């Protein structure tokens, strides 16, 4: 269940909220981290921060609530909560005894630095020099895509997993996307996410596991934020990075967030995957990197996948029986067995249909009159899914040997009103109540008896 929850958990703010106060305060010692946190705030909260950025004394809470129209107090409250949750605003008692609010001092100092300049460069005093072997932006895109696909390959178990180091492998194993039997439901859901969300999810898992690897969370976070605000196509020097950050750099290099020529090379290039990671940049920027669709499904349950990528083929093979493999084309058959197999792995019919829709071949999308996925296929997938739901189990308590039918009726009515009745048979005077309701029904029965 944990992975299910984690897959819906998104956004930097929720993550920061879960961090202890000490780590948060340390994190605000870096301009990049402050900038990233700032960008994640709601519009109103951003304005609040800007208004208090250059005001040194504490501001009374009543003044702040007067900034907002009376009909928008709800938004005001939300913004206020957001800011206090991650300790950007701290409550402060004014000299007159009024409640006031003050901006976190280190947050203020570092956001000012990011905004107006001053302080030390993010990358230490060393200016990076022009690289003799400058990577072109296409080369960077290609390299990062290659690395990221390695991760995805590992998830679908398409071999080639040797390219990943043990640390990254165990990270992927631990985050519940893969189990011993292959990809899990959460894993499939993960594959359907857009690229930035995927990266973000993996990074959250990485941060969670960082402490167990003996790495300092604050250092990693500020390094990642730094990466996300760097310029694409620009090389940066590894000088001035701490040991932890260097290890992190190698991990990021492995999943394609950073390109480095050699392990010992002093320069690295952040890739598109890393840039704007924390600034709330979503799909639109990275859409072009997504390959166009390749799947056509026919009413005879045949699925044509115009692809040569082992990853794409492995994905399709999760729910269909592969028949032929031709150059540039794979043909599979959606059968009851193959779909049932997918269901047992936790993949739902909806997920399969969505997958086919999002990866549909341009030719399939062209025809306006016919749906992308034929309706017979959709219906059949739902029917097959329903087959699994013919029996459902729930825990319950059986009441029997009830002497009079009036007692039985009273009991049945009570349980029914409470919404805890699972099954009842008036002829046999049998009653099944679910676990949660058992106590209530028992008490009711005792009370009833006493009255008699």
Nearer to another protein, 116 or 139 (CB): 116
Question: Alpha carbon of 68 to those of 38, 44, 102: distances in Å?
Answer: 20, 9, 18
Give first-to-last CA distance, the chain, whole Å. 47
| β-bridge mates for residue 297, sequence order | 303
Q: Which residues bind another protein (CB under 8 A)?
A: 10-11, 13, 31-32, 35, 38-44, 46-47, 50-51, 53-55, 66-69, 72, 75, 110, 113-122, 127-130, 229-231, 234, 276, 279-281
Taking the complex as a whole, the smallest distance from the CB of residue 43 to another protein amounts, in Å, to 6
Distance between CA 215 and CA 243 in Å, rounded?
A: 9
CB 46 within 8 A of CB 78: no
Taking the complex as a whole, the smallest distance from the CB of residue 120 to another protein amounts, in Å, to 6
Nearer to another protein, 73 or 299 (CB): 73
Is residue 240 left, alpha or beta, with left meaning phi > 0 and alpha meaning psi from -120 to 50?
left
Burial 231-258 (b: 16+ CB within 10 A, else e): eebebbebeebeebbebbbebbbbbbbb
Nearer to another protein, 110 or 205 (CB): 110
Nearer to another protein, 133 or 324 (CB): 133
Distance between CA 378 and CA 375 in Å, rounded?
A: 5
Torsion of CA 311, 316, 317, 322, to 10 degrees: -110
Distance between CA 83 and CA 45 in Å, rounded?
A: 7
Taking the complex as a whole, the smallest distance from the CB of residue 227 to another protein amounts, in Å, to 12
Taking the complex as a whole, the smallest distance from the CB of residue 224 to another protein amounts, in Å, to 15
DSSP 8-state assignment for residue 127? P
Q: Nearest Cα to 355, choosing from 301, 312, 325, 298?
A: 312
Q: Nearest Cα to 331, choosing from 358, 374, 362, 297?
A: 297
Cβ-based neighbour number of residue 42 at 10 Å:
14
Surface-to-core class of residue 407, CB atoms within 10 Å of its CB (0-12 exposed, 13-18 middle, 19+ buried):
middle
Q: Nearest Cα to 249, choosing from 272, 279, 219?
A: 219
Is residue 244 left, alpha or beta, with left meaning phi > 0 and alpha meaning psi from -120 to 50?
alpha
Taking the complex as a whole, the smallest distance from the CB of residue 166 to another protein amounts, in Å, to 34
Distance between CA 163 and CA 150 in Å, rounded?
A: 7
Taking the complex as a whole, the smallest distance from the CB of residue 54 to another protein amounts, in Å, to 6
Residue keyed to tokens 């920027």 = 285
Taking the complex as a whole, the smallest distance from the CB of residue 13 to another protein amounts, in Å, to 6
Nearer to another protein, 127 or 393 (CB): 127
Nearer to another protein, 39 or 357 (CB): 39
Report CA torsion sign: 129, 134, 137, 143: negative
Taking the complex as a whole, the smallest distance from the CB of residue 269 to another protein amounts, in Å, to 14
Question: Alpha carbon of 191 to those of 132, 206, 401: distances in Å?
Answer: 37, 17, 54
Nearer to another protein, 48 or 190 (CB): 48
DSSP 8-state assignment for residue 178? E
Taking the complex as a whole, the smallest distance from the CB of residue 23 to another protein amounts, in Å, to 21
Nearer to another protein, 50 or 326 (CB): 50
Taking the complex as a whole, the smallest distance from the CB of residue 65 to another protein amounts, in Å, to 10
Taking the complex as a whole, the smallest distance from the CB of residue 49 to another protein amounts, in Å, to 10
Taking the complex as a whole, the smallest distance from the CB of residue 61 to another protein amounts, in Å, to 16
Nearer to another protein, 113 or 260 (CB): 113
Nearer to another protein, 263 or 288 (CB): 288
Q: Nearest Cα to 72, choosing from 101, 48, 44, 49?
A: 44
Q: What angle do the packed helices 105-116 and 43-53 form, to 10 degrees?
A: 90
Residue keyed to tokens 């709330």 = 280
Nearer to another protein, 229 or 414 (CB): 229
Nearer to another protein, 32 or 349 (CB): 32
């Amino acid at each position: 269940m944990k992975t299910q929850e984690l897959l819906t958990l998104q956004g930097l703010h929720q993550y920061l909220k879960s961090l202890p106060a000490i780590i948060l305060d340390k994190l605000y010692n870096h301009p990049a981290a402050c900038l990233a946190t700032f960008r994640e705030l709601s519009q109103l909260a951003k304005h609040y921060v800007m208004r208090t950025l250059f005001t040194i004394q504490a501001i009374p809470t009543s003044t702040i609530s007067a900034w907002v129209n009376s009909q928008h107090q709800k938004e005001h409250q939300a913004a206020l909560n957001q800011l206090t949750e991650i300790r950007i605003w701290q409550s402060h008692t004014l000299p007159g005894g009024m409640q006031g609010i003050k901006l976190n001092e280190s947050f203020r100092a570092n956001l000012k630095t990011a905004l107006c300049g001053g302080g030390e460069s993010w990358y230490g005093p060393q200016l990076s020099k022009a690289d003799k072997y400058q990577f072109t932006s296409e080369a960077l895109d290609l390299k990062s895509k290659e690395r990221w696909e390695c991760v995805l390959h590992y998830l679908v178990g398409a071999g080639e997993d040797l390219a990943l180091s043990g640390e990254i492998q165990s990270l992927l194993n631990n985050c519940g996307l893969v189990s011993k039997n292959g990809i899990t439901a959460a894993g499939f859901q993960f594959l359907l996410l857009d690229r930035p969300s995927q990266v973000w999810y993996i990074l959250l898992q990485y941060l969670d596991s960082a402490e167990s690897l003996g790495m300092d969370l604050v250092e990693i976070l500020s390094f990642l934020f730094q990466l996300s605000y760097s310029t694409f196509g620009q090389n940066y020097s590894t000088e001035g990075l701490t040991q932890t950050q260097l290890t992190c750099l190698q991990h990021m290099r492995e999943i394609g967030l950073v390109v480095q020529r050699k392990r010992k090379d002093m320069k690295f290039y952040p890739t598109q995957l890393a840039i704007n990671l924390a600034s709330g940049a979503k799909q639109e920027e990275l859409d072009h990197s997504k390959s166009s669709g390749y799947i056509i499904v026919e009413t005879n349950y045949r699925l044509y996948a115009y692809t040569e990528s082992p990853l794409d083929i492995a994905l399709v093979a999760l729910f269909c029986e592969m028949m032929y493999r031709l150059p540039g084309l794979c043909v599979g058959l959606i059968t009851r067995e193959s779909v049932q197999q997918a269901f047992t792995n936790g993949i739902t019919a909806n997920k399969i249909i969505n997958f086919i829709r999002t990866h549909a071949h341009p030719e399939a999308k062209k025809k306006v009159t016919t749906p992308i996925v034929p309706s017979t296929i959709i219906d059949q997938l739902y029917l097959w899914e329903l087959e699994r739901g013919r029996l459902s189990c729930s825990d319950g308590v059986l009441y029997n040997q009830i002497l009079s039918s009036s007692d039985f009726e009273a009991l049945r009515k009570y349980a029914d009103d409470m919404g805890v009745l699972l099954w009842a048979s008036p002829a046999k005077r049998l009653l099944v109540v679910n676990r949660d309701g058992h106590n209530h029904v028992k008490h009711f029965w005792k009370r009833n008896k006493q009255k008699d």
